[in-house]
Amino acid sequence: MIARILILLSGVLILASCQSDSNRRNTADAQIEKRIDELISRMTVEEKIGQTNQLTVYGTTEELCEKIRNGEIGSLLNVVDPADINTLQRAAVEQSRLGIPLLIARDVIHGFRTVFPIPLGQAATFDPALVEQGARIAAIEASAAGIRWTFSPMLDISRDPRWGRIAESAGEDPCLTSAMGAAMVRGYQGEGADDPTSIAACAKHFVGYGASESGRDYNSTNLTERQLRNVYLPPFEQAVRNGAMTLMTSFNDNDGIPSTGNRFLLEEVLRNEWGFDGMVVTDWNSAGEMVSHGFAADTKDAAMKAINAGVDMDMMSHVFSLHLKDLIDEGTVDERRLDEAVRNILRVKFRLGLFENPYIDTARIARVTYAPEHLEAARRTAEESAVLLRNEGNILPLDASALRSVLVAGPMADAPAEQLGTWTFDGEPDHTVTPLAAIRAAYGDRLHIGYNPVAAYSREKVTAAKLAAFTAQAASYDAILLFVGEEAILSGEAHCLADLNLQGSQSELIAAARRSGKPVVTVVMAGRPLTIARDLANTDALLYSFHPGTMGGPALIDLIFGNAVPSGKLPVTFPVATGQIPIYYARNMTGRPAAGNELLLDEIPVGAGQTSLGCTSYHLDAGFGPLFPFGFGLSYSTFEYADLQLDKEAYLPTETIRASCRLTNTGKRTATEVVQLYVRDRVGSTVRPVKELKAFDRITLEPGQSRTVEFELPAEDLAFWGLDMQKRVEPGTFDLWIAGDSQSGNSVTFTIN
Ligand code: GLC
């Protein structure tokens, strides 16, 4: 009896503490709203407009301080020195009329000083907990510099590797992108936004930017509302549900409407449907660029369209500071909309605790930057992000004891700045550990390590003579480690490619290594999938490393020599040829799906009669499938999936599908498998993808070990926006896979009634 009372009592206490937690949160929010009301009541229109103005630092500190003292600036970006930030902040807090602190922002996209793999690489880990840790570390280092707002996570679904910004994304899939985005939001914002180490997250670019036509940056997108709802919006909704404090509008015009002027997105979806109470900032000058789009007649019209669409802060176009006062005086913009924008901005500043703690302890940055645990987390992320795509004859891992010499070659073997990848303004190349440095440190005492970059950088074209000399040199070594790929500048914003073959003479370099007759291991460091089909035959093994960051060298060398086992899986489909793009696994079936036996270009008889009968959806010169599918990645072990089963055959839309399989490590090494659960809705009110990732998990098993892997999938996760544009679970028959990638595995069937 006593036990029952104690259990009951503890339950009451837990309930009470949960309620007090949410009460505390509600009380804190209520107090913040009261403080906002009080502050706004004292603000002039000019001071309100000043809060909506975000500038990059420029000119002299005194010039900036003057504008700050006059209440003309609400936020600054691109200042990273704590002492400078304190000076600017003092002008706001102690020398302006109302003492409203500045919000200091920076693109901390994949680390601040300790640089992690680019987000596309982090997605390849399929390890949200690790990615969250990386974001936490980025926040600790960035906040120590005085930064309290980052323009990350970038949540653009990216299905076009020609687009340079795929590097900043989590790839092609909404489920994986949602998981990674939510993890980053949690990592950046930490336990409480008012913790001095937390930085406000910014889910960007809202929305559809990754579908820029032809993969050319800033280009138009033409996504239907249904595509937005089912594919492009979900990661943003998850970020909002996980507390993202800000969002950024995207550069693209979708269906002719620039996102920065899209009231449907910014009011209807973001505020009314999702209940977002944070702040919306434009992208750099994207408000002003509505004039160039032809959506605004002039900058005054652009200001009106942006503020009335629901934008709160204008990054660097000045249209708010130039025109809002007149627009309000003329009655074209209601001052209440301005008040709402200022309220959203002040709410972020209050929640971050900036009014209580506006200044930085300038001694903190030295204590936290490059902390050993930060570097180890970066190394582990680089290790988990590498994807083993080829390993002929199980040449990897190399056995150092069986080798006398290794030739390290290629333009990416010792390229500390390139290895960091795009968006690393604050990374310091002299802290990068390259593969060459790492192999020398780890094996220099027992291996003769040769080094020949052959090309000074990825685009360099080298002579046939130089390649021949390299082949001769390589023939005198026991193994060749080639590091190729892309210079960091070849991906990222505004850096798009129409041809995805390896740049320069890198393919020729791999072929030259093959001619040496020695084992060839190729590592590709890039910001995107590249069309490497023609290179595969010339390398025994290929490890793909999406610009791995500061600690990429040790991670890759550990993988190559077997101190670690590859576990990365592709977050994006690899095309055979650029012409296949867009190519992604969650495609529609079409009325004439490829059968897999289609005649390819060279198989079509000369003089063949013209026919369109029996034709299917494929390219004569590239076939139908990808080079490597989404979710693919090899290991140094092998895994067997068996005994796939469901707890029932039929479910109600309110029930949960319990799926399981038996996973066995059938290899010789302890290894980690990313187990993926896919579902197909066979018939819908609109056609449904042939497969959609719905869950995944990392499972580590010793050789011979088996484990039952279980997933609980709420049937409501199968809901989609159908013909009537309502989100619902439609009854019908579904297929379910649990497999190691998006193309393999058997399925089971269930129904929803
Ligand atoms: C850039 C990018 C955006 C970035 C912003 C601030 O143009 O589009 O992602 O956060 O400007 O640097």
Burial 257-293 (b: 16+ CB within 10 A, else e): bbbbbbeebbeebbbeeeebebbbbbbbbbbbbbbeb
pLDDT of residue 610: 83
Q: Are residues 525 and 408 in the same domain?
A: yes
Q: Which of 23-27, 518-522, 588-592 has the lowest mean pLDDT?
A: 23-27
Q: For residues 599-619, give the mean pLDDT.
A: 86
Identify any residues that bridge with 465 across adjacent strands, giving them in sequence order.
Answer: none
DSSP H or E segment with residue 367: helix 364-368
Q: Are residues 542 and 673 in the same domain?
A: no
Q: Are residues 414 and 503 in the same domain?
A: yes
pTM recorded for the entire structure: 0.96
Last residue of a domain, one of 530, 560, 590: 560
Is 97 among the domain residues?
no
Cβ 284 under 6 angstroms from ligand 1: yes
CA-nearest of 649, 670, 671 to 659 is: 649
**Given its phi and psi angles, is residue 36 left (phi above 0), alpha (psi -120 to 50 degrees) or beta?**
alpha
Distance CA 301, CA 305 (A): 6
Question: Which ligand 1 atom is at minimum distance from the Cα of 205?
Answer: 9
Q: Are residues 435 and 528 in the same domain?
A: yes
Is 355 among the domain residues?
no
Q: Are residues 393 and 481 in the same domain?
A: yes
pLDDT of residue 480: 98
Last residue of a domain, one of 506, 531, 560: 560
Q: Is the pLDDT of residue 7 over 50?
A: no
Residue-wise DSSP of 180-216: HHHHHHHHHH-S-TTSTT--B-EEEEETTGGG-GGG-
Q: Is the pLDDT of residue 539 over 60?
A: yes
Total count of domains within the chain: 2
CA-nearest of 206, 219, 169, 221 to 498 is: 219
Q: Count the neighbouring beta carbons within 10 Å of the beta carbon of residue 92.
A: 23
Q: Count the neighbouring beta carbons within 10 Å of the beta carbon of residue 739.
A: 20
Cβ 168 under 6 angstroms from ligand 1: no
Distance CA 336, CA 523 (A): 57
Q: Count the neighbouring beta carbons within 10 Å of the beta carbon of residue 2.
A: 6
Q: Are residues 434 and 523 in the same domain?
A: yes
pLDDT of residue 23: 66
Cβ 218 under 6 angstroms from ligand 1: no
Which tokens hold the place of 582?
């867009």
Reported as a single tens digit per residue, the pLDDT across 675-732 is: 999 999 999 999 999 999 999 999 999 999 999 999 999 999 999 999 999 999 999 9
pLDDT of residue 59: 87
Percent of the chain with pLDDT over 70: 96
Cβ 160 under 6 angstroms from ligand 1: no
Q: Are residues 393 and 540 in the same domain?
A: yes
Cβ 312 under 6 angstroms from ligand 1: no
CATH code of the domain covering residue 659 = 2.60.40.10
Is 485 among the domain residues?
yes
Is 93 among the domain residues?
no
pLDDT of residue 716: 98
Q: Are residues 533 and 393 in the same domain?
A: yes
Question: Which ligand 1 atom is at minimum distance from the Cα of 154?
Answer: 9
Q: Which contacts qualify for 42-47: CB closer than 8 Å, 24 or more apart?
A: 42/98, 43/98, 43/342, 44/71, 45/324, 45/325, 45/328, 45/335, 45/338, 46/71, 46/72, 46/325, 47/71, 47/97, 47/98, 47/100
Q: For residues 50-66, give the mean pLDDT.
A: 94
DSSP H or E segment with residue 421: none
Is 307 among the domain residues?
no
Q: Are residues 446 and 537 in the same domain?
A: yes
Burial 218-246 (b: 16+ CB within 10 A, else e): bbbbebeeebbbbbbbbbbbbbbebbbbb
Distance CA 168, CA 155 (A): 8
Cβ 289 under 6 angstroms from ligand 1: no
Q: Is the pLDDT of residue 155 over 50?
A: yes
Is 299 in contact with 260 (CB distance < 8 Å)? Answer: no
Q: What is the largest CA-CA distance in the chain?
A: 92
CA of 132 to the centre of ligand 1 (A): 22
Is 379 among the domain residues?
yes
- Beta strands 257-258 and 253-254 are antiparallel
In sign, the C-alpha dihedral spanning 410, 416, 418, 419 is positive
Last residue of a domain, one of 500, 531, 560: 560
- Domain range enclosing 717: 639-752
Q: Is the pLDDT of residue 6 over 60?
A: no
Q: Is 200 exposed, middle or buried (0-12, 13-18, 19+ CB in 10 A)?
A: buried
Q: For residues 15-27, give the mean pLDDT.
A: 59
Identify any residues that bridge with 445 across adjacent strands, giving them in sequence order.
Answer: none
* Half-sphere exposure of residue 400: CA atoms within 13 angstroms, side-chain side: 17
Question: Which ligand 1 atom is at minimum distance from the Cα of 78?
Answer: 12
CA of 284 to the centre of ligand 1 (A): 6
Q: Closest Cα to atom 7, ligand 1: which residue?
A: 284
Distance CA 439, CA 289 (A): 49
Q: Closest Cα to atom 11, ligand 1: which residue?
A: 284
CATH code of the domain covering residue 515 = 3.40.50.1700
pLDDT of residue 285: 98
Cβ 84 under 6 angstroms from ligand 1: no
Confidence of residue 418 (pLDDT cuts 50, 70, 90): very high
Is 736 in contact with 678 (CB distance < 8 Å)? Answer: yes
Ligand 1: residue of 313, 493, 496 to mutate (most ligand atoms within 8 A of CB) is: 493
Is 669 in contact with 637 (CB distance < 8 Å)? Answer: yes
> For residue 8, what are the contacts with CB-CB under 8 A and spacing of at least 6?
none
> For residue 627, what are the contacts with CB-CB under 8 A and spacing of at least 6?
531, 532, 533, 574, 575, 576
In sign, the C-alpha dihedral spanning 239, 240, 242, 243 is positive
CA-nearest of 633, 571, 511 to 169 is: 571
DSSP H or E segment with residue 336: helix 335-351
Q: Are residues 487 and 383 in the same domain?
A: yes
CA-nearest of 156, 153, 114, 89 to 352 is: 89
Q: Are residues 422 and 535 in the same domain?
A: yes
Q: Is the pLDDT of residue 17 over 60?
A: no
Please list the active-site residues. 283
CA-nearest of 56, 38, 54, 51 to 96 is: 51
Cβ 681 under 6 angstroms from ligand 1: no
Reported as a single tens digit per residue, the pLDDT across 430-452 is: 999 999 999 999 999 999 999 99
Which tokens hold the place of 440?
């020398």
Number of helical H runs and strand E runs in the chain: 22, 26
> For residue 568, what are the contacts with CB-CB under 8 A and spacing of at least 6?
124, 125, 126, 384, 385, 386, 387, 388, 544, 633
- Beta strands 202-206 and 149-150 are unpaired
Q: Closest Cα to atom 3, ligand 1: which residue?
A: 283
Which tokens hold the place of 657?
């599908």
Q: Closest Cα to atom 8, ligand 1: which residue?
A: 283
Average pLDDT, the chain: 96
Q: Is the pLDDT of residue 671 over 80?
A: yes
Tokens 């063949």, residue located: 608
In sign, the C-alpha dihedral spanning 737, 739, 743, 746 is negative
Q: Is 703 exposed, middle or buried (0-12, 13-18, 19+ CB in 10 A)?
A: middle
Q: For residues 546-557, give the mean pLDDT.
A: 98
Is 382 among the domain residues?
yes
Q: Are residues 553 and 658 in the same domain?
A: no
CA of 659 to the centre of ligand 1 (A): 42
Is 474 among the domain residues?
yes
Distance CA 457, CA 361 (A): 41
